[in-house]
Amino acid sequence: MQAWLQATRPKTLPAAVAPVAVGVALASTQVAVRWDLAVGCLLGALLIQIGTNFANDAFDGLKGTDAYRIGPQRAVAAGLISARAMLVATGAVLALAFVVGLWLAQVGGWPVLVLGLISLVCAIAYTAGPLPLAYVGLGDLFVLLFFGWFAVLGTAWVQVAPVADHLDHTFLGLPIPWWLIATAIGLQATAIICVNNLRDIATDAPAGKRTLCVRMGDGPSRSYYGALHGAAALCLLAAAGFLEEPTQKYLVLIAVVAAGGGVLLTKGVFKAQGPALNPFLGKSAALELLTAALLAGLVGRWG
C-alpha cells in the first residue's frame, strides 16, 4: 500500500487541486456554484493526474529511464510494483476518470467531453507511444494546457455553460481575465515539472529523454524556472486590468504574492544541486496552492 501511495506522487497532487479551486471561484462570480459538479471536476482532475503518474512510472521503468534517478524512488524501477500491475492500475484509474467526464459532459456539453478525451490520451502519450511528450520536450506544454486552461476553464465552463452567452469580454465563450488567470495557474504548475526535469538532466539525457530542460541545459533551465513564475505574476496583473475596484486591487495583491514567492523559490533553485532540488517540488506546489487559495477570495465577487 505504501508503494502505491508513493506512486501517486502526493506532493504534486496540489497541482490538480489548485486549478479546480480557481475554476470554481471564477464561476462563482457569475452563477451559484453547484458543488456536486465542483467535486466531480476535482475527482476527474485528480484521477487524470494519478493515471498520468502511474503511466509515467510504468513506461519510464520499462525504458530504464528511472534506473539511476536522484529524485524520489519510482515503484516500477525499484521493483516494488511490476510494470504490468502499474499499467493495469493506469487503465483502471483513467477509466474512472472517463466515467466522471461523461457525467460532467451531460451538463457542460461536448466541450467538456473533448477536453476530457484529449486529457486521457495525453495522460498515456506523456511517456508512451511513438512520440512521448515528455521525451521530446513537450511535457511542459502538456502541463500548461491541462493544469491551466483545461482544468481551470473546464471547471468554470461546467458551472457557467447555461449562461455563457451573457458573459462580458469573452474569448471562446469565457471572459478574457479568466483565460489570463488560468494561464497563471498553468505556468505555476509548469514550474513544478521544470524543477523535476532540472534535477533529472544528468539521468534523462543518457536515457534519451529529451525534456525541455535537457534541451536547454542546466543554467538556462534555472532561468526558465524563474521566468515561469514571473510570467504567472504578469498574467495576474493583466487580468486585474479588466476589473474594477476593489477586486482589481485584490488581484494585484495576489500578483505581488505570486511574484515574491517566485523570486524566493528561484533564488533557492539557483543554489540547489541534485537531490537538494527535491524540496522545491513541494515548495513550488505550495506557492501554486497559496495563489489558488487567495484567488478563492474572488468567490461571489467581480468588478
CA distance linking residue 202 with residue 56, whole number of Å: 18
Number of CB atoms found within 10 A of residue 279's CB: 13
Per the document, the length of the chain is 303
CA distance linking residue 55 with residue 264, whole number of Å: 33
CA distance linking residue 279 with residue 285, whole number of Å: 10
User: Are the C-beta atoms of 90 and 108 separated by less than 8 Å?
Assistant: no
* pLDDT per residue of the chain (303 residues) written in tens, 0 to 9: 888 988 888 877 888 899 999 999 999 988 888 999 999 999 999 999 999 999 988 888 887 765 555 656 778 888 888 989 999 999 999 999 999 999 999 888 888 889 889 989 988 888 887 778 888 889 899 899 988 999 999 999 999 887 777 676 677 778 899 999 999 999 999 999 999 999 989 888 887 889 999 999 999 999 999 999 999 999 999 999 988 888 899 999 999 999 999 999 999 999 999 889 999 988 999 999 999 999 988 776 664
Q: Which residue has the cell 502538456?
A: 142
3-state SS, residue 24? helix
H or E element in which residue 252 lies: helix 247-271
pTM above 0.85, yes or no: yes
**Which of these, 232, 248, 255, 258, lies nearest to 298 by C-alpha position?**
248
The CA-atom distances, in angstroms, between 234 and each of 183, 222, 248, 253 are 10, 19, 14, 12
**What DSSP assignment string belongs to 103-151?**
HHHHHH-HHHHHHHHHHHHHHHHTTSSSS-GGGTT-HHHHHHIIIIIII
CA distance linking residue 169 with residue 198, whole number of Å: 38
CA distance linking residue 232 with residue 267, whole number of Å: 17
Res 56: pLDDT: 86
**Which of these, 110, 113, 141, lies nearest to 125 by C-alpha position?**
141
H or E element in which residue 171 lies: strand 170-171
> What are the φ/ψ torsions at residue 31 (nearest 5 degrees)?
-140, 165
Burial of 83 (0-12, 13-18, 19+ CB in 10 A): middle
Res 166: pLDDT: 65
Res 213: pLDDT: 96
CA distance linking residue 99 with residue 116, whole number of Å: 10
Res 43: pLDDT: 95
Res 302: pLDDT: 62
